Amino acid sequence: GAVVSQHPSRVICKSGTSVKIECRSLDFQATTMFWYRQFPKKSLMLMATSNEGSKATYEQGVEKDKFLINHASLTLSTLTVTSAHPEDSSFYICFFRGNTEAFFGQGTRLTVV
């Protein structure tokens, strides 16, 4: 079946550097893409939503200049964590929704040291 491929699955970076996370749907077109963040033992928190042809809409409290989302096409979305700090360490996961299907990516464990 259709899947969403998310890379990297795990990344460790130094404080102050930027990290790009990519999600790609392999055989369906996503009209809406979501990015979530998950803290240990906490629920998934929606960061932003992007619809086809529109810029991402960020949830309250999420810095759009820090978490850059690029909805490049109907099959590709990237999240760039700019100038990462240890408090950005978390599990980031994308969620793609098409007309009849919806899938999560596998998630990215980001550790900022």
Taken in order 48, 51, 56, 60, is the CA torsion positive or negative? negative
Q: Does 11 bind other proteins (CB under 8 A)?
A: no
Q: Decide whether 74 or 82 has the Cβ nearer to other proteins.
A: 74
Q: Do 104 and 93 touch, CB atoms closer than 8 A?
A: yes
Q: How far, in Å, CA of 90 to CA of 112, rounded?
A: 9
**Which of these ranges, 13-21, 65-73, 81-89, 97-105, lies near other proteins under the rule CB under 8 A?**
97-105
Shortest gap between Cβ of 82 and other proteins (angstroms)?
23
Q: Do 32 and 49 touch, CB atoms closer than 8 A?
A: yes
Q: Does 29 bind other proteins (CB under 8 A)?
A: no
Q: Does 80 bind other proteins (CB under 8 A)?
A: no
Q: Decide whether 19 or 94 has the Cβ nearer to other proteins.
A: 94
* 22 Ramachandran zone, left/alpha/beta (phi>0; psi -120 to 50): beta
Residues near other proteins (CB under 8 A) are 6, 32, 34, 36, 41-46, 49, 91, 93, 95, 97, 102, 104-107, 109
